[in-house]
A = this chain, B = another copy of it.
Amino acid sequence: MSDPIRSENLLYLTDEQLRQGIEAMYFAYRGFTADPDRILESMAYGRAHHRAIHFINRAPGTTVTNLLDILGVTKQSLNRVLRTLIEDGLVESRVGTSDRRERNLFLTEEGTALEHRLSDAQRARMRTAFREAGPEDVAGFRRVLEAMMEGEMKRQYLSLRESGK
């Protein structure tokens, strides 16, 4: 009021704007997971399997501990998911070469096939959204999301980002 320029600049920080941002996150995340969920529910898998498959594909040969760090769940919880994926022949667990206590995880051909189906669906929605919005909006989207991450997760995101070239 006393400083129209400054208050106009900060209009996007009103409680109402923030609440809309919160609700946008909520509804968008549901859209974000909807397509893979539909594919997964036809099989005996859930979102937890998707996450495991995604990050094993993303970093082939990753260890169980590393996956635990990325996913932020307990080893018991991850193990249950991993076991079914290994039993079903989607994931292969090889004894580590340098450290034989470790297990290196890889997707099999079948696992890769499912990963493709899932990520194709998810990318298609992301692509549509990105195209609808445009490059500037996409950059903003990414910057806000990155600023929203917690420290440890942001580090993991950035390191994946790096390794992805």
Contacts and interface: CB of A to CB of B under 8 A. Distances in A.
Contacts of A87: none
A13 interface: yes
Interface in A1-51: 9, 11-13, 15-32, 34, 51
Contacts of A145: 24-25, 27-28, 129, 141
Contact of A31 (B28, B133, B153): B153
Main secondary structure of the interface of A (DSSP, over half): helix
User: Which of under 10, 10 to 19, 20 to 34, or 35 or more describes the interface residues of A?
Assistant: 35 or more
B22 A148 contact: no
B28 A149 contact: yes
18 contacts: A11-B135, A18-B126, A18-B127, A20-B142, A20-B161, A21-B126, A21-B141, A22-B122, A23-B160, A24-B145, A27-B145, A31-B153, A126-B148, A129-B144, A132-B143, A133-B147, A137-B139, A141-B144
